[in-house]
Amino acid sequence: MNIEYLVIVIVIMSLATFATRLPPFVLFSGREKHPLLQFVAKYTPPMVMTILVIYMLKGVDFLAMEGLYAFAALAITIAFHLWKRNALLSICVGTSFYMMAVQW
C-alpha cells in the first residue's frame, strides 16, 4: 500500500482517459458542417449501438441457463419497448426479470 504511487496512477489514468475523449473536439472544431463529418456523425451512433449490444452479450453462454435468461430478458425489453416506447419502463422490466431469474 503506497499512497503516493496510487495518487500518481489516478492522475495518469485521468489524463489518459480524457485524452481519448477530447481529440475529435480539438481536431474538427469549426469543421462541423463538412459533408463527410456530417455523414460520420449521423451513422456512428447506430453502428456503435449495434456493436455495444453485441459486446455486452458476447460473454453470455447461450447454451447455459444464464443464456436462456439473457435471451428472454432481451426479448422482454424489446417487446416492451416496441409496445410502449418508454425507455425507462423497458429497461426496468427487462432488468427486473433478469435479476429475478438469476437470483432464484
Partner 1 sequence: MIRTVLKTTLPICFGYLPLGVAFGMLFQELGYPWYFATLMGVFIYAGAAQFMAIGLLTASAGFVEIAIATFFLNSRHLFYGLALLNSFGNWGFRKLYLIFGLTDEVYALMSTIEVPEGYDKSKFYFLMTLFSQSYWVLGCTIGAWTATQLTFNTQGMEFAATALFTVLLIEQWIKVRKPLPFVIALIASAIALLLFAQHMLLFAISLSLIMMMVLRSTNQKVRNEY
Q: Where along the sequence are the contacts to partner 1 (CB under 8 A)? A: 1, 3, 5-6, 8-25, 28-29, 32, 36-58, 70, 73-74, 77-78, 81-82, 87-88, 90-92, 94-95, 98-103
**In the complex, what is the shortest distance from the CB of residue 72 to partner 1, in angstroms, rounded to a whole number?**
11
Would you say 91 and 77 are in contact if contact means Cβ atoms under 8 Å apart? yes
CB of 93 to partner 1, least distance (A): 9
d(CA 20, CA 24): 9
Cβ at position 48, least distance to partner 1 in Å: 6
Q: How far apart are CA 71 and CA 94, in angstroms?
A: 10
Closest distance between partner 1 and the C-beta of residue 15, in Å?
Answer: 8
